[in-house]
Amino acid sequence: MVLAVDMVRRGAERFADRTAVRFGDDVLTFRQTYEAASRLANSLLRRGIGQGDRVALLVGNGLWSVSLDFACLEAGIVRVPLNARLSVNEHERMLVETDARWLVHAPELEETATMLCTRVPGLFAIGLGGPGASDGSDLLADAAGAPSSDPHLDISANDRVLLLYTSGTTGTLKAVTHTQATYGAIATNILTNLLDPSRESVMLHAASLIHASGTFVLPYWLRGATTAILPRFEPQEFLDAIARYHVTEVNLVPTMLGMLFASGAVEDADVSSLRTVIYGASPMPRPVLDQAMAAWGPIFAQYYGQTEAPLCISVLDQADHLDEELLGSCGYPAVDAEVRLGTEEGEPVGPGEIGEIQVRAPFVTTGYHRAAELNAEMWTADGWLRTRDMARRDQRGYLYLVDRRSDMIVTGGYNVYPREVEDALLAHPAVAECAVVGAPDPVWVEAVTAFVALKPGAQVDAAELQATVRRQLASYKVPKQVEFVPTIPKSSVGKVLRRALRDPLWADR
């Protein structure tokens, strides 16, 4: 197997003078990106940070994002990315749980870094492009005087490279471990199943590079393609960047795609260079997909995966999107993955039955950090990862997500999966987004309850929405109550947080 660090070296060697990274008006070639990575790696090593040490990264998307990640691979350092949108309390817990003693932070996050230094004994904070919170040191300035040669340490396949916390839709943040081998396998998985970039390809990143968006960097690097980076997602800026950088591929969560088309900016945008729109991370509302395909054509591809098994457990490719019957599917299993639908005991379910998606693949995590009980719970006795996603398989082998096992509602003895009710609600033209949960009920035990956010200027009452669902689903699946809310709570990667709506309903139970 090819290690992730060796993939970095291969791309740098082969495509030295091609453009690797674009950020604003700045451009870095493959050689410059690799040399910067080596300088950063050597700078970190001479500070006394050793192989296997955990270094937390509190940085946003920027010019040096790729070099910093590659530096950690070269130095044998375990990255612990911190999402700036999380609270200081959550960051503190992550630092303590992972034994991270070093923190690299962006200048604009110095205040947060300072607070963390006061809370976590022994934590040392280094700036990236500005004064560090501990002693004012700047890693970029220090790296300028460090050797530009790769340190070429003795690195093995099982060396850890990443402790990545999941986005927490279950309410408990968990650190997922990836190694040199599994991280390299993620790049191979993307190239094998989802994308085939050329040297002229340009992928635009507006979502945080610490999550799914960042997994595309190494595959593009291996093919001599360009990574264009934006500091944040804003619809007009995103569309302008597509034209400016002649972007060929983008990766969007469904929320971002919906925001693009709701903004009105799409109508005048030049997206003539765009060849593929990748989406994933959460279910795509059918009305949003229909609108996007009508505007941009059949250039969409979907992946289904999770932090524990990135990126593609299954793929619905562009050709699949031409088949109306498949638009509700999350795709066909990846060629480098074994995928089955199983019971809680790990037994395969029968044809057409709903079961949990379970997977074995080279890109699957090696386990959760310091969580023996969770690791025992999440793997079957014969070595399959339990995704906790429930699905069914059609006669052609395509998978259809039903819902998370933990989100299932049991009402009057019947099982109701929130997603099917949400899809029915989204069919109403007034509904912008929604979430369905189970609320306590003295008769039904759990009552199907819908939270609905309407489109600007739209009006509809609960009775009409209940009738919309009744026309599509069994009567016991119709929401007993409809609550209208301004927005639906979401995680940092755009996943609907049903627990944020459900937990207050059960607070006194």
What are 167-198's pLDDT values in tens digits? 544 456 789 999 999 999 999 999 999 999 99
| Structure-model confidence comparison of residues 354 and 199, the more confident one | 199
CA atoms within 13 A on the CB side of 430: 12
Kindly state the average pLDDT of the residues 483-493. Answer: 87
Determine the pLDDT at residue 315.
98
pLDDT greater than 50 at residue 92? yes
Determine the pLDDT at residue 167.
55
Determine the pLDDT at residue 508.
74
Beta strands at 309-316 and 332-333: parallel, antiparallel or unpaired: antiparallel
Rounded Cα gap, residues 357 and 339, in angstroms: 7
CATH of domain 408-505: 3.30.300.30
What are 32-67's pLDDT values in tens digits? 999 999 999 999 999 999 999 999 999 999 999 999
Beta-bridged to residue 490, according to DSSP, are: 496
What are 440-456's pLDDT values in tens digits? 887 777 899 999 999 99
Instruction: Name every residue whose Cβ is closer than 8 Å to that of residue 151 and which is 6 or more positions away in sequence.
Output: 38, 41, 42, 45, 74, 75
C-beta of residue 303 within 8 angstroms of C-beta of residue 331: yes
Rounded Cα gap, residues 476 and 428, in angstroms: 19
Rounded Cα gap, residues 246 and 200, in angstroms: 10
Indicate the domain borders of the chain.
4-332, 408-505
Tokens 């530009």 belong to: 148
Query: What Rg do the C-alpha atoms of the chain give, in angstroms?
Result: 23
Tokens 């190694």 belong to: 179
Rounded Cα gap, residues 177 and 307, in angstroms: 9
pTM: 0.84
DSSP state of 331: B
What's the one-letter identity of residue 443? V
What are 399-427's pLDDT values in tens digits? 998 867 678 787 876 778 888 899 899 99
Determine the pLDDT at residue 509.
65
> What distance lies between CA 490 and its chain's CA centroid?
13
SS3 category, 129: coil
Determine the pLDDT at residue 169.
45
Residue 417 CB neighbour total at 10 angstroms: 20
Among 102-111, 220-229, 342-351, the minimum mean pLDDT is found in: 342-351
Q: What share of the chain is helix, strand, coil (3-state, %, to 5)?
A: 35, 25, 40
Residue 146 vs residues 41, 45, 141: alpha-carbon distances, Å: 9, 10, 9
| Crossing angle (nearest 10°) for helices 65-75 and 30-46 | 50
Tokens 């300088």 belong to: 39
Q: What is the DSSP string of 377-427?
A: HHB-TTSPEEEEEEEEE-TTS-EEEEEEGGG-EEETTEEE-HHHHHHHHHT
Is 138 exposed, middle or buried, given 0-12, 13-18 or 19+ CB atoms closer than 10 A?
Answer: middle
Fold identical between 4-332 and 408-505? no
Rounded Cα gap, residues 81 and 57, in angstroms: 5
Tokens 């199907």 belong to: 448
Beta strands at 385-393 and 355-360: parallel, antiparallel or unpaired: antiparallel
Instruction: Name every residue whose Cβ is closer than 8 Å to that of residue 307 and which is 6 or more positions away in sequence.
Output: 164, 166, 167, 176, 211, 365
CATH class of residue range 4-332? alpha beta
